[in-house]
Amino acid sequence: MNFVSARSNEFEPGLYDALARYRYRVFVERLGWELETTPGYEQDQFDHEGTVHVVARSLQGDIVGCGRLLPTTDSYLLQSVFPQLLNGLPAPRDPNIWELSRFAAMPVKTADGDASAPCAHAAERVLLQALRFCAARGVSQLLAVSTLPVERLMLRAGVDVRRIGPPVMIGGQRVLAFVIGVHQQSLDALAVFEVAAASPHSAALLPLQSTPFVSPVSATPRTIGIPRIDTPARTVRVETTASEHNKVEVRTRAVDHCRLAA
Amino acid sequence: MFDTYKRLTLPECAEVTPNHAHSEVDDDQSGASLQGVTEWVVAGPRALTFGWVWAFEPNTQRVIGRWSTLSTNLMVIDSNGVDLGAEATARCVTAMMSRVHWERIVAAAVGLLPEP
């Protein structure tokens, strides 16, 4: 996996279009977000020539992850679209505070056919690139509007994450805002995943709860307790009924969810 | 620096009664025990939020909290207004949740026990 972290007007020809197509497949087709956008091509009012994007590509050249970085000195998602998630706090406007949005890490089918194979620890590595870009520019905090599984993934990775307010149901999902500390603790925690991806034998370095394993149900590589970002998104709403002998019948209904930042 | 904390002293925490907002079971249940997440809230102009991972231990038939996973916007302070840190806050939250018997409520919410 390789990364580009740059303003879109610095992209190589064709990369921005590929990113917009990837975002459409992820956020509209896969996650079912109701976004007002051109079919097949996702962009919004925050995407302009100066917008910074992190793009992750597989060795085959397919986009497998992304993130968008917006300074809070200009209009941004939490302030403009989801102010209710600020929990009564004023929206920050600070050159050292940016916002991460359109955060995704999953392979999707390209126009040519098959999707790339999942990349190891893709979500953590995309986030690491975003934090490195910010750290190099003196950014100390990243705001994020996201879902509980994404918050949980970051916490498990050892990233400094602080909630702004409680999760709110938006579009059928529990969405919340939090702050990511852009400092050495978060960078070091995520760098472990980069090392592990480069050397599969170093998986022992990873936080215990993030040890990859193969789910006996789906035989899909997963991470204990939390869906891996680089595998198909699923969460389960559970309807349970207590039965004899304290057994519990668990009926599950798979629901696509946004493991990704908005 | 964007400060997201809502700060309370220990006596103020003792007056707080969190309400259950949501609990669910993880889809991935390959571990030794059934587990999931639970969300609690104290409503207000600056709401308090608490989320953590719970697990059901089959041997003891009890729901336990994985408090190292706690995520909250609460910060406990001393009488001088000094932050007491994440560990002190987590201890305060566990005490707060014990008062409302969170384990029973979560167990009932995910179907491990009848509704109270």
Q: Encode pLDDT of A107-121 as tens digits.
A: 887 666 666 666 778
User: Mean pLDDT throughout A123-131?
Assistant: 96
Structure tokens at A231: 């595998």
User: Mean pLDDT throughout A57-79?
Assistant: 95
The DSSP call for residue A32 is -
Which pLDDT score is estimated for A35? 87
Lowest-confidence segment of A40-44, A207-211, B3-7, B40-44 by average pLDDT:
A207-211
> Is the CB of A152 less than 8 angstroms away from the CB of B61?
no
Which pLDDT score is estimated for A107? 83
Of residues A88, A140, A215, nearest to B30 (C-beta): A215
Question: How far, in Å, CA of A76 to CA of B83, rounded?
Answer: 30
Question: Tens digits of per-residue pLDDT, A6-29?
Answer: 999 999 999 999 999 999 999 999
Mean pLDDT score across all residues of chain A: 79
Which pLDDT score is estimated for A233? 32
Cα-Cα-Cα-Cα torsion A119, A122, A126, A132, nearest 10 degrees, comes to -100
Asked if B50 and B70 touch (Cβ cutoff 8 Å), the reply is yes
Question: How far, in Å, CA of A212 to CA of A209, rounded?
Answer: 9
Which pLDDT score is estimated for B30? 65
Closest CA to A192 of A158, A153, A229, A230: A158
> Is the CB of B51 less than 8 angstroms away from the CB of A213?
no
A254's CB contacts (< 8 A; 6+ apart) are A234, A235, A236, B27
Q: How confident is the model at residue B35 (pLDDT cuts 50, 70, 90)?
A: very high
B49 shares contact with chain A (CB less than 8 Å): yes
Which pLDDT score is estimated for A41? 96
Q: Is A28 helix (H, G, I), strand (E, B) or coil?
A: helix
Question: Tens digits of per-residue pLDDT, A214-230?
Answer: 222 222 222 222 233 33
Which pLDDT score is estimated for B80? 97
C-alpha distances (whole Å) from A63 to each of A26, A120, A122, A166 are 11, 14, 11, 32
Q: Which residues of A touch B45 (CB under 8 A)?
A: 88
Q: Please name the residues between 12 and 41 in chain A that touch chain B, using a CB distance below 8 Å.
A: none
Closest CA to A184 of A113, A117, A236, A132: A132
Question: Tens digits of per-residue pLDDT, A150-173?
Answer: 999 999 999 999 999 999 998 888
Whether the per-residue pLDDT at B64 is higher than 90: the answer is yes
Cα-Cα-Cα-Cα torsion A121, A150, A259, A223, nearest 10 degrees, comes to 40
Question: How far, in Å, CA of A87 to CA of B42, rounded?
Answer: 12
**What is chain A's alpha carbon radius of gyration, rounded to the nearest angstrom?**
18
Q: Give the residue ranges of DSSP H helices in chain B.
A: 10-14, 85-99, 102-109
Residue type for position A150: V
> Is the CB of B25 less than 8 angstroms away from the CB of A87?
no
Q: How confident is the model at residue A142 (pLDDT cuts 50, 70, 90)?
A: very high
Closest CA to A41 of A60, A63, A23: A23
Question: How far, in Å, CA of A57 to CA of A15, rounded?
Answer: 10
Lowest-confidence segment of A118-122, A180-184, B78-82, B95-99 by average pLDDT:
A118-122
Distance from CA of residue A233 to its chain's centroid?
A: 11
What pTM did the predictor assign? 0.82
Which pLDDT score is estimated for A241? 32
**What is chain B's alpha carbon radius of gyration, rounded to the nearest angstrom?**
15
User: Mean pLDDT throughout A79-99?
Assistant: 97
Choose from A24-28, A31-35, A254-258 the range with maximum mean pLDDT: A24-28
A216 shares contact with chain B (CB less than 8 Å): yes
Burial classification of residue B13, based on how many CB atoms lie within 10 Å of its CB (0-12 exposed, 13-18 middle, 19 or more buried): middle
Q: Please name the residues between 71 and 110 in chain A that touch chain B, using a CB distance below 8 Å.
A: 87-89, 92, 94, 97
- Give, in degrees to the nearest 5, the angle at Cα B91 between B85 and B93: 100
Lowest-confidence segment of A65-69, A180-184, A241-245 by average pLDDT:
A241-245
Whether the per-residue pLDDT at A78 is higher than 90: the answer is yes
Asked if A201 and A185 touch (Cβ cutoff 8 Å), the reply is no
Q: Is A203 helix (H, G, I), strand (E, B) or coil?
A: helix
User: Mean pLDDT throughout B71-97?
Assistant: 97
Question: How far, in Å, CA of A133 to CA of A139, rounded?
Answer: 9
Question: How far, in Å, CA of B35 to CA of B51, rounded?
Answer: 13
Of all residues in chain B, the percent with pLDDT exceeding 70 is 94
Whether the per-residue pLDDT at A207 is higher than 80: the answer is no
Which pLDDT score is estimated for A202? 57
Whether the per-residue pLDDT at A39 is higher than 70: the answer is yes
Which pLDDT score is estimated for A260? 43
Q: Is A214 helix (H, G, I), strand (E, B) or coil?
A: strand
Question: How far, in Å, CA of B49 to CA of B75, rounded?
Answer: 11
